[in-house]
Amino acid sequence: MAGLGRYHAKRRFGVTAEPRGKIGKRGNARSSAFVIQKHDATRLHYDLRLQLDGVMKSWAVTRGPSLVPGEKRLAVQVEDHPIDYNKFEGTIPKGEYGGGTVMVWDRGRWHPKGDPHRGLAKGHLSFQLAGTKLHGGWHLVRMRRRPNEKRDNWLLIKQHDDAAREPGDKDILVQKPRSVKTGRTLEEITQHKRKIKSKSKSKPKRKVAKRKKRKAKRTKRAKRR
């Protein structure tokens, strides 16, 4: 059963800016939201979240996704998150659960192959991603749980298709490090910098330029008369 009990129990909502959230829409069986949040906590990782049953099923991908099918990335399943979390970008205070900076690194829709509930139960989920950065087919494969492990370890693996890359090709994580939401780097988010300069600083300039243009037109017209 999907639920947010564990999500709520881990956080103090008066202290962190993360959303409390609630169980949301079940989503469309063929296409639901996905997000990947770059999370600079104790250790940098990338949180993959797939909308299912009104929550975001979540995995902490320790080294981040790789477009190279041979590069299997450890994905530790973590607590379900609310759908509202997909918009969260900012800093979780030090000492709080997950303390550190969170960036919306990629987002879009995901399309499971077959019944995702069956896939999750049997430990093999196949799906397509239609994001800004990530595309094509992916596998999540659950590994056998060892006696002392509290959480399920999965592997995130790129499928062989047009969106796949060869070993030695550019690393998407290095190539596209910025937020798809605000265009900021992790450092800029940490420093609470406003959204990219074009949105904050140059807007007034553009307005001034427009005003000047209008004024010039008016004087031109006046001269003609």
Give the C-alpha separation, 92 to 190, whole Å.
Answer: 10
Give the C-alpha separation, 183 to 130, whole Å.
Answer: 19
Binding to Mn ion by CB under 5 A, coded x per residue (else -) over 43-82, reads ----x-----------------------------------
Among 16, 32, 39, 66, binds Mn ion (CB under 5 A): 39
Q: What Rg do the C-alpha atoms of the chain give, in angstroms? A: 22
The minimum distance between CB 47 and Mn ion, in angstroms, equals 4
Query: Which of 77/159 has CB closer to Mn ion?
Result: 77
Among 123, 109, 131, residue whose Cα is nearest residue 52: 109
The minimum distance between CB 69 and Mn ion, in angstroms, equals 25
Q: Does 106 bind Mn ion (CB under 5 A)?
A: no
Q: How many residues bind Mn ion (CB under 5 A)?
A: 2
- Which residue type is seen at 62? T
The minimum distance between CB 180 and Mn ion, in angstroms, equals 17
The minimum distance between CB 100 and Mn ion, in angstroms, equals 8
The minimum distance between CB 2 and Mn ion, in angstroms, equals 18
Q: Candidates 28-36, 37-45, 69-77, 186-194 — which segment interacts with Mn ion by CB under 5 A?
A: 37-45
List binders of Mn ion among 168-187 (CB under 5 A): none
Residue found by looking up tokens 């008016």 in the block? 218
Report the interface residues with Mn ion, using CB under 5 A: 39, 47
